[in-house]
Structure 1
Amino acid sequence: MFTSRMFAAGAAGFALAAMGPAGTAHALHSDTFAADNAESAAVVSAQIADTGSLDGDCTGTAIAPHWVLTARHCIEPFPTPGGSVRLGQGDQQRRVQVDHWEAAPAGDIALLHTVEDMGLASYPTVSDTVPGLGAARLYGWSPDGSGKTTKLPVAEGEITELLDMSLFEGKQMINVDTHNGGKTQPGDSGGPLFVDGKVVGTLSASLGDDKDGMSDVAAYAVVAEQYDWVMETISGGGQGADAGTPGRGDLNAAWLVGGGGGVLVAIGASVVVLRGRGKSDAG
């Protein structure tokens, strides 16, 4: 499930750079896999653009019948939308084509639009508040993870602080220490961070690496910073938006329940931006 790729860090302030070709990825060795429930059913594997690996480039969360929440750095390298999302686990998996996507005005947040209704019984609530410190749950569909492409790994974690830095001019990132051996890697980018059943973040970066190129500290873009934009887009304000989708005030339990190149940000210490797993990662 959850390695990452690192470039030399800059000093103070933000430094952005394109990610180079990836090498062999490392897998999360976890005995914990997602139960078959409404929360895990919404976590999808996203093949970003038609040039990506069919195993999956990034992770995302289906938050409306035609909309998947993911990381902006997953779509940034591709001028033309395309690809697909894979839903379900095991022999219940299926694919739905992507025909459009939208990048948030700020922050490492984006939305993929699917051609077909994904047909889930319910969709997770998107949080409109910044989470506090404490317990959180994270998922990742990296094909290099312990679940490969059939079983969805899940890890528990702890929000330890809010960092005053973020990609794409966002305000903050959520710092999460993972538990029980959970480590982030390519293919997990854009995956959801859940707190109290709500999506509070999209996986954006790892903070430092161990000797094997993996990290058990992950950074998430704060979804609440772009809550209004997300709600407007999926309810009719964006290109390809769902006609008749409930507005922001109606997104409740009645209706709801790592692309090509990435970028690097550094502030004093190394910050590793997760990239989606493409064909070059197959080593």
Structure 2
Amino acid sequence: MSLARNLAGVAGAVLAAAAFTAPAQADQAPPPDVRPTIIDGREVDSAPWAARLFVNGRETCTASIIAPEWVLTAQHCVDGAGDGVSFTIGNVDQTQGERASARPGGVYVHDTADLALVNIDHAVQTEYAPLGSPGDVRVGQTVQTYGWGATCTDRPEIQCQSQILKVADVNVTDIACSDYRGGTAVCATRGDGIPAGGDSGGPMFAGNVQVGVASTSDRRENTAYTNITEYRAWIQSVAGV
């Protein structure tokens, strides 16, 4: 889409509740009238559940570890990546943390939603992201979005990816809108920041539980996160959590 794009770092940014189109690439510059304005937000001191996703060694997306050998992210972050998916886990600095790779054949994607689960090659001992249930996210709620994505809107996203994990507050406007693939999503508007390229696949937290996975954004005012509270049965069937 011209404004709404999916959030994969060098593979795309989080949407708006309206029209979705094919993902834009992160090396495309945004419209020239958009000025620097996770864009804004703030840096995170600790996030033991955080995972930075790499495809063939190249930083692309954000993710969360939800069990010793399972990482949750967006489908569009791993689409076509095969077994070339790896992570750094448990450190807010994307260059640090424990390293893990996808097991051969260990990438599982949902049939209709922008969700993926990755079975990693060894158990990582950390604090895992607790997953929310229906009712944990509500319209009108202020929630938190996390990611290592772009911090600018005035130049290509790859030029301003954050080394340190950032968080931004956003305001929930809908809990049954659509993600990039037409799945059920939580839509929100900008609070003190907005997700952008590289934040794809990253978590949305409502209180102390994860309720969403970053799917699309217009990088200015609107974002959509796949509503994982609607997909707990699928996550349970694949990852057992």
Classify the TM-score, shorter chain: 0.7 to 0.9
In the alignment, structure 1 residue 188 sits paired with structure 2 residue 199 = yes
Distance 1:24 1:98, change over 3 A: farther
In the alignment, structure 1 residue 101 sits paired with structure 2 residue 112 = no
SS of the residue corresponding to residue 177 of structure 1 reads: strand
Would the aligned equivalents of 1:33 and 1:147 in 2 still touch at CA under 8 Å? no
Segments of structure 1 that go 5 or more residues without pairing to the other structure are: 7-12, 209-213, 236-247, 249-283
In the alignment, structure 1 residue 74 sits paired with structure 2 residue 77 = yes
Higher helix proportion: 1
Number of residues paired by the alignment? Answer: 211
- C-alpha separation between the residues in 1 aligned to 2:66 and 2:168? 20
Normalising by structure 1, report the TM-score: 0.65
Percent identity between matched residues is 22
In the alignment, structure 1 residue 153 sits paired with structure 2 residue 155 = no
Aligned to 2:226: 221
2:194 maps to amino acid: K
SS of the residue corresponding to residue 73 of structure 1 reads: helix
- Show CA shifts across 1:169-222 (max 9, x none): 42x221112322x1222111011000121111101111x4xxxxx323211111
The alignment's C-alpha RMSD in Å is 3.0
In the alignment, structure 1 residue 126 sits paired with structure 2 residue 131 = yes
Equivalent residue in structure 1 for 2:45, among 12, 21, 35: 35
Higher strand proportion: 2
Would the aligned equivalents of 1:4 and 1:186 in 2 still touch at CA under 8 Å? no
> Rg bigger for which structure?
1
1:129 maps to amino acid: P
- Tell me by how many angstroms 1:124 deviates: 1.9
Normalising by structure 2, report the TM-score: 0.75
1:44 maps to amino acid: A
- C-alpha separation between the residues in 1 aligned to 2:204 and 2:213? 6
Distance 1:105 1:117, change over 3 A: same
Distance 1:115 1:139, change over 3 A: same
